[in-house]
Chain A
Amino acid sequence: MTQEYDVIVIGAGVVGSMVARFLSKYKLNILLIEKESDIGMGTSSANSAAVHAGYNAVPGSNKAILNSKALDMWPQLSEELGIPYERCGDYVIAVNEKNLAVLENLMERGRKNGIPGMELISGEEMRRREPLIRPDTIGALWAPTGGISDPFTATVAAAENAVMNGVTVMLNTAFEDFLMEGNTITGVSTSQGDFSCRWVVNAAGLFADEVMHKAGVRPEFVIRPRRGEYLILDKADFQLTQNTILFPTPSSKGKGILVASTLHGNVIVGPNANFVDDKMDKDMTREGTEEIWSGGKKLVPSVNRKHIIAEFAGLRATGNAPTPNPEIDYQQDFIIDIPSEVQGLVNLGGIESPGFTASPAIAVRVIELLKSAGEDLIEKSDWNPIRQAPPVFRHLDKHQQAELVAKEPAYGRIVCRCEMITEGEILAAIHSPIPATTYDAIKRRTWLGTGRCQGGFDMPRVVNILSEELGIPPEEVTKKGDSSPLLYRRTKDVQQDHIVVEDLI
């Protein structure tokens, strides 16, 4: 047993990172463990980046309550942590009478969830606000509380702020089992050894069911991942008239395929929702691509296939937990509780949409749960809620750019020319509180390689920078952790078995 912690958080996605950040306010010794090579590589790395308006979830469910609560937190959170966030509002589009009836229901749900400012607008008004919308739109639900953010930055910012406030983060550290004395959790064993603690927070996302089963909790709870595929359009080629999220009228299958602005300036189209068996299966499929493209095109007919520059898929951690209130018939709610079967577990599970939106409110709920369990949480006098975002060259005006480069010349070398990411930003990511040590870790922090050339030009340069800064040979630089090398060997360094002489003659 190596070290004594008060709290160990399993999983450094946006939820685990927010939990660690909010808990870092108190005099607690906290360890945040993550099985991957970087934080935020699971569900947090691939979603719609939407801060949901709050009218979708079933009233009275954890999803509804926490979505609504989090909406009040986002402005301050974004300010404190330097997370891009714009409350631009969203729309649900109706094209027939049946759709309009659904919008009425959504409006009613929103009212019950305490969502302010919702409005039903006419098709004509919708076309005025977004002329690119499908021409047969006959009405829309407008929800000013909807917004867009950046889940990568949110995860990084929360985890960095946690580290600033004394939280220890261990990457490449996979949870293996609980250490128990009787029914009391005394620690966790991981791929990097055993660690003792008084509390464990299960924020394992897609794997939360497996983690709680190890403690003998909720054996009936199962996460069945639902994959969502996305397409990203070139910002130079296609833009919505203003930043917003456009949803079709939802069906039994879910919220449907949206067309939305991102705060990186691109338009995103997706997701579909298909159950998969493998919790790592983030494959794009031929059928899925067609499905989301036709969905997006229905909503905004002028989108053009030629403008697609990126494709990716993410997995929703869809569970089967009923809402705590037995009077509410809903079977896919978040689990957020302290189970009675064991001592020392705060259990989070089934955190799918609106999980990103709700993440700060989930963190606050975890604190309330710990307090209610008798934990004497004492605030630190020196807690610093502010995480300064590093400079982003492309967001500065020319005078600020000139000033920055004069002060720090590395910001004067553009490495990623599509997204205008500078060497200064890459160096800042490598030397940040949670150092970016892989290509994708730099990509998530700086947005490099996400543009129309998809890293074709920057990658050789980034490999050299990582090699130099980390003091490792280029062959050891990876895309996303140990088993994903980018390069294999020096040229001329040919092993005998590589050459089949007959083939060359």
Chain B
Amino acid sequence: MKSNYDVIVIGSGPGGLAAAIAAKENGADDVLIIERDIELGGILLQCIHNGFGLQLFNEDMPGPTYAQYYIDKVKDHGVETLMDTMVLDISPQREVFAINKDLGYLDLQAKAIVLAMGCRERTRAQILLPGARPAGVYTAGTAQRFVNVEGHMPGNKFVILGSGDIGMIMARRLTIEGAQVERVLEILPYLSGLTRNYVQCLLDYGIPLQKHRTVNRIIGRDRVEAIEAVTVDEKWQPVPGTKEIIPCDTLLLSVGLIPENELSKKAGVLLDPITNGPFVDDRFMTNVPGIFAAGNVVQVYDLVDWVTEAGFTAGKGAAQFALAEKLETGEEIPLKAGENIRYVVPHKLDKNHLAEEQVRLQMRAITPIEERVLVTVEDQNGEVVAKKGEPYARPGEIITLAIKPKAYEAVQKATSLTVNVRKR
């Protein structure tokens, strides 16, 4: 195989697939996807539930169907793919070192790299769950792989900690497979995942969700025998007299996702401590020239459609960089999280980019507002350069707002932009 590529994409989930397609469509000749699993598609392959593609296709598809659409496109475009291959290291000079059983040690050079490694799940240690350490404590995604890909049930009687989307989806999935899901516990006073998943996966199946409640102790020496649940106060401290032993054989954790950036760090990519993903500009280029990032490696998305869109943007930027050996940028100004906003992606905006096309901002609210809200993008003087109304703001659901080219003039005067979400 070749050792020089225009664009190397690391990861073949929705972000990676879209980035490879966009790189090809924007003039890159030699594009390679490196995937650690044995087939393309990433985590979508284990997401056999529907709900994918509503934004981009106006269609409700299961994960593998959604992935297949882009896998076919990748093949049509002549993108090279390397499966069952692990990237061991990347350098700021865009060297890529990888290992494969049959091809051995690979020493590759890319003109541009797109990081699309996705994210991993938070584990019990990261939330410091007390108790024993038996078999039967799984992250929701691991259980999802066991059930949907391997065809095995990791338990018969479940308690699920965390109301993240995968947890709620697994509650339904396990119920359909004949398991008993006793409870979903959520330490926060509000849902972590999408409301539609709460309705379709928990409410419709009669699975109780208890908020402000968590696992106080895991019980069972060899295999989980029960968990002790407890109500917590605002500071997450156990409330006396609220303990309940729930017999079960499995505890699933759906307690958050973390962008997987260990490889990024090796190349000197700087990470935002809030998103745990790289600082990116509006073409999804990181601080390291020629290294782009797309999808859940940048921020944890709620909808796959946005991951695909991010992949397209990053892939296009990577192709432009590969062809010109650099990226033409105008003056870049920072995008800041303002009132009730936890973070905004991208982290900065190229004023000239707006002349070509709209720039999509995505953000998460800090606290829920269950009434109509106005999302505004304001310059340093409080002048509104873009705004959008939303029926509500919930931390579990990403807010999307596009700055349109018509705001070009207003943005030219700005030295920074701040995003806020307020009651209307």
Contacts and interface: CB of A to CB of B under 8 A. Distances in A.
Contacts of A398: 97, 105, 107
Contacts, number: 164
Interface stretch (A65-73, A79-87, A248-256, A490-498): A490-498
Contacts of A236: 262, 265
Interface in A434-476: 439, 452-457, 459-460, 463-464, 474-475
B102 to A, nearest CB: 6
Contacts of B175: 503-504
Contacts of A1: none
Interface string A392-425: 0000001001100110011011100110100100
Residue in B126, B179, B206, B217 with the greatest tally of chain A CB atoms within 10 Å: B126
A63 interface: no
Contacts of B104: 402, 405-406, 409, 412
Residue in A409, A486, A504 with the greatest tally of chain B CB atoms within 10 Å: A486
Contacts of A282: 132-133
Contacts of B139: 456
Contacts of A498: 156, 178-180
A490 B153 contact: yes
Contacts of A308: 125-126, 128
Contacts of B107: 398
B154 A405 contact: no
Contacts of B72: none
Residue in A398, A406, A413, A459 with the greatest tally of chain B CB atoms within 10 Å: A413
B106 to A, nearest CB: 9
A206 B86 CA distance: 43
B75 interface: no
B221 A414 contact: no
Contacts of A232: 125
B100 interface: yes
Interface string B101-145: 111110100000000000011011110111111111011011001
A453 B86 contact: no
Contacts of B142: 455-457, 459-460
Contacts of A418: 262
B152 A412 contact: no
A489 interface: yes
Contacts of B265: 236
Nearest to B132: A283
A481 interface: yes
Contacts of B61: none
A487 B146 contact: yes
B221 A310 contact: no
Contacts of B146: 460, 487
Nearest to A505: B206
A503 to B, nearest CB: 5
A28 B121 CA distance: 51
Contact of A489 (B124, B153, B221): B153
Contacts of B123: 309, 452-454, 456
Contacts of B155: 488
Contact of A480 (B84, B145, B222, B262): B222
A128 interface: no
Contacts of A378: none
Nearest to A486: B135
A381 interface: no
Interface string A274-312: 000000101111101100000000000000000011111
Contacts of A487: 146, 152-154
B99 A414 contact: yes
Contact of A283 (B103, B130, B153, B178): B130
A474 B150 contact: yes
Interface string B223-264: 100000000000000100000000001000000000000100
Interface residues of B, number: 59
A412 B206 CA distance: 47
Interface in B205-228: 205-206, 216-217, 221-223
B382 interface: no
Contact of B36 (A410, A417, A475): A417
A412 to B, nearest CB: 4
B21 to A, nearest CB: 25
Contact of B223 (A280, A285, A310, A485): A485
B149 interface: yes
A498 B128 CA distance: 32
A285 B120 contact: no
Interface in A22-39: none
Contact of A479 (B135, B179, B249): B135
B88 interface: yes
Interface string B145-165: 111011111111000000000
Contacts of A76: none
A454 B132 contact: no
Contacts of A231: 125
Contacts of B331: none
A484 interface: yes
Contacts of B76: none
Contact of A284 (B130, B147, B205): B130
A494 B134 CA distance: 25
A495 B139 CA distance: 25
Contacts of B179: 498
A283 B131 contact: yes
A497 to B, nearest CB: 9
A243 interface: no
17 contacts: A232-B125, A286-B238, A311-B125, A312-B133, A409-B102, A423-B101, A452-B262, A480-B222, A484-B134, A484-B223, A486-B136, A488-B156, A491-B152, A492-B151, A494-B177, A494-B178, A498-B156
Given A312-B133, A479-B223, A491-B153, 10 more contacts: A232-B125, A309-B123, A401-B105, A413-B84, A420-B86, A456-B138, A460-B149, A487-B154, A492-B151, A503-B206
Interface of A: 231-232, 236, 280, 282-286, 288-289, 308-312, 398, 401-402, 405-406, 409-410, 412-414, 417-418, 420, 423, 439, 452-457, 459-460, 463-464, 474-475, 478-492, 494-495, 498-500, 503-504
Q: Which 5 A-B pairs have the closest CB atoms?
A: A402-B105, A494-B178, A479-B135, A498-B178, A484-B222
